[in-house]
Structure 1
Amino acid sequence: MTRDEIIRILDQVPGKISFLYENLETGERVGYREDQPLMAASVIKLYVMAAAFNQFETGKLRQDFSLPIYKKDCVPSCGALTYLHEGICVTALDLVTLMIIFSDNTATNLLIELLGMEEINQYIKSLGFEKTCLNRKMYDTEKSSKGIQNYITASETGRLLMMMYRGELVSEGASRQMISILKNQQLCSKIPFYLQALAEEPEIAHKTGEDRGITHDVGIVYGKTPFLVCFCGNETDTPGFERIMGELSLKLYEETNRSEAQNQNKSMDSMIGRKSE
């Protein structure tokens, strides 16, 4: 797809939309309002994970540090901890894993307490990210009602993923472990939607985010030629934008991995064509 074709598609999506594509071998890049700060929803959890691994690396927090979870700690959805028995013990690494693969809000809030919100933001700034900021916990309705939100940009999130891919986020080992967690993502209705139906399904390391009028999915799609892609939307038609995330991700994969995908995707193209009519 040409840049103009991608921009034409994104221009039709209502609301505040940003997008970033980068081929991780050639460096080819397409951006669309990628520096626009947007309310983060659960994509901010990527940065909490990075801060957690930084503290694991420095020894400030152990991966096997264990703590009990009580009902007073729990917030509604997403995830699992809210629905498990009182006093269940989990490790710091368990919290990171649940935060990412199930987008567990209780796990996220406990990690924010363990790591420290100020310390998380200091780490974000140390990476050179000026627009990304954690301002409140998950499901803090009081602060949210006052307009206090967490913010990301597609460009800074893309740089975070690039650092992880190159083994430069915290350390090579930490980057590898974070990517492994992201590859186990269980919320797969956006970037992976059509890709997971391929005969040879590519691995995808990604993180979603959603709230009322908000939908994001950001990650790395692995194949013969891997690429990163960040879709971010506020005040938008979430079902419509999510369909476009799936369609564009498939088309980008086909183009960057044409020799692998061209024979197995004819039926997929026709299906998308029917859905778009």
Structure 2
Amino acid sequence: YVLTELYRQYKEGKLQPSQTMAMEGSNIVPGAGHINESPAGTVYSLDELVDYVAIYSDNTAANMLIEAVGGGGIVTQHAHELGMLDTYLEGKYYQNDNGRFQTTPDNAARLFAKLANHELNGEPWDSMLIDKLRLNSHSFLRTYLYETDSWNKSGLGAPEQNDVATFVTQYGSYSIAVYTNSWNDYDARFDQVGRLSQRVYEAFNQIRSDLWHPYDPEQGFYR
């Protein structure tokens, strides 16, 4: 949602990918990522911060981008305008004064579906964001489907292992989100979510292929 708002501001000319900002101590937090090990005052471009968020789910980089776009309230407003009414970003990652800081699998899947159909910020911005998400180094849903055109955004934490992805097949595209919590077999999460995704992929293609007809001028069948 933060990246969606960021790219909206790129589109409107309020921000540019080449713009830089210095990392302040208030944005440095633990958890996923790398730049929290850098000293305060280190300068990053917005495009570099997007890479850290997309590839490593970097919490410090995300906090910096929340600040860059004008705060979580702006992100929440944009999410609601897009129809993601269960999403709230009232604060930053690992901040004690946060309000609601949440989303749902439904909202996440809807966001990815809009992105796949270029209904977030339009072109070229949606394709630019998709290219960033293709770089994600952590995946559950794509584990056994890497030969399929796809992109994802995972969320890793102590109890939760979440992922949202879009898959593009010869019969169309679909978006799927899987959120988990407190698994008994924590180390099996990659395989189990990956196998679930594989079954959904197979079912989607089987059902769509049953409805798929080649064009026949005499019969008037269209794909």
TM-score of the aligned structures, taking structure 1 as reference length: 0.66
1:173 corresponds in structure 2 to: 124
2:181 corresponds in structure 1 to: 234
What is the alpha-carbon distance in structure 1 between the residues aligned to residue 38 and residue 149 of structure 2? Answer: 30
Q: Residues 71 and 152 of structure 1: is their aligned pair in 2 closer, same or farther, counting only changes over 3 Å? A: closer
- 2:89–2:101 contact (8 Å) kept in structure 1: yes
1:83 aligns with 2:37: yes
- 1:79–1:103 contact (8 Å) kept in structure 2: yes
User: What is the aligned length?
Assistant: 203
Q: Spell out the pairing of 1:102-181 with structure 2 (5 A cutoff).
A: 102-115=56-69, 116-140=71-95, 142-143=96-97, 148-181=99-132
1:177-202 residue CA offsets vs partner (Å, 9 max, x unmatched): 111111111112x1122224xxxx22
What is the alpha-carbon distance in structure 1 between the residues aligned to residue 47 and residue 75 of structure 2? Answer: 16
1:19 corresponds in structure 2 to: none
Q: Spell out the pairing of 1:26-65 with structure 2 (5 A cutoff).
A: 47-65=1-19
- 189, 199, 202: which one aligns with 2:148: 202
2:143 corresponds in structure 1 to: 193
- 146, 151, 168: which one aligns with 1:222: 168
After superposition, the CA RMSD in angstroms is 2.2
1:143-185 residue CA offsets vs partner (Å, 9 max, x unmatched): 47xxx45211222212111111111111221111111111111
AA of the residue aligned to 2:199: K
Give the SS at the match of 1:137.
Answer: coil
Give the SS at the match of 1:111.
Answer: helix
What is the alpha-carbon distance in structure 2 between the residues aligned to residue 92 and residue 180 of structure 1? Answer: 16
- 1:71–1:82 contact (8 Å) kept in structure 2: no
AA of the residue aligned to 1:100: A
AA of the residue aligned to 1:170: N
AA of the residue aligned to 1:234: N
AA of the residue aligned to 2:64: L
What is the alpha-carbon distance in structure 2 between the residues aligned to residue 90 and residue 194 of structure 1? Answer: 34
AA of the residue aligned to 2:145: L
2:202 corresponds in structure 1 to: 254
RCO higher in 1 or 2 (8 Å CA, sep ≥ 6)? 1
AA of the residue aligned to 1:56: Y
Give the CA deviation at 1:86. Answer: 5.4
AA of the residue aligned to 1:250: Q
- 2:33–2:58 contact (8 Å) kept in structure 1: yes
Give the CA deviation at 1:227. Answer: 2.4
Q: Residues 211 and 120 of structure 1: is their aligned pair in 2 closer, same or farther, counting only changes over 3 Å? A: same
2:220 corresponds in structure 1 to: none
Give the SS at the match of 1:193.
Answer: coil
AA of the residue aligned to 2:111: L
Q: Residues 53 and 243 of structure 1: is their aligned pair in 2 closer, same or farther, counting only changes over 3 Å? A: same
Unaligned segments of structure 2, at least 5 residues: 207-223
What is the alpha-carbon distance in structure 2 between the residues aligned to residue 135 and residue 233 of structure 1? Answer: 23
1:9 corresponds in structure 2 to: none
1:100 corresponds in structure 2 to: 54
TM-score of the aligned structures, taking structure 2 as reference length: 0.81
